Amino acid sequence: MHHNAPRCTTSLHNAPFMSSNLYIPKTCQQCGNLFTARTTVTKYCGDNCAKKAYKARKRQQKIDASLQETKEQQVMQQVATTSSDSLSNKDFLSVTDASKLMGVSRWTIQRMIKRGQLKAVPFGRKHIVARHQIENLFN
């Protein structure tokens, strides 16, 4: 058994649509022409200007992303340069630092230590190589 609710008699529901009575003179943000807006948030005079503005925004986002990526790469290069400069100031190097300084793998340094070509001092779980040991390899 269905219950029949009384019909709503509010005048709001009788209106076919709600329209704005606003007429706001504005300037299009894309083309600069004057137009009459019907809402407070309208920015463009028409669909074509809105589409052009959208494409311009997307293009600018791609450019900004590319510039940001370039800046990040430059920062990484500066960090790499700074770390290699800091290696040149150290008197004692870890196996990893020694390999970076010489441009060889860590395993090559480990083999050189094992063969006795480089003298390394155990320091906890690491081995420390004196800078003069590396310099003596080339003298």
Long-range CB contacts for residues 77-86, cutoff 8 Å, separation at least 24:
none
Residue type, 2: H
What integer pLDDT is reported at residue 133 of this predicted model? 86
Q: What domains are there in the chain, each with its CATH number?
A: 90-139 (3.90.105)
- The pLDDT, as a whole number, for residue 85 is 64
Q: What is the pLDDT of residue 137?
A: 82
User: How far apart are alpha carbons 104 and 100 in whole angstroms?
Assistant: 7
The answer to whether the CB of 98 falls within 8 A of the CB of 134 is yes
CA nearest neighbour of 88 among 96, 79, 98: 98
Position 106 scores a pLDDT of 92
Q: What does the pLDDT read at residue 62?
A: 96
What's the confidence (pLDDT) of residue 7?
52
Query: For residue 95, what are the contacts with CB-CB under 8 A and spacing of at least 6?
Result: 106, 109, 110, 113, 120, 126, 127, 129
pLDDT of residue 10: 47
Question: pLDDT by residue for the chain (139 residues), tens digit each?
Answer: 555 555 544 444 554 555 668 899 999 999 999 999 999 999 999 999 999 999 999 999 999 999 999 999 999 888 777 666 677 778 888 899 888 888 899 999 999 999 998 899 988 888 899 888 888 887 7
The pTM score is: 0.45
**pLDDT given at position 84:** 62
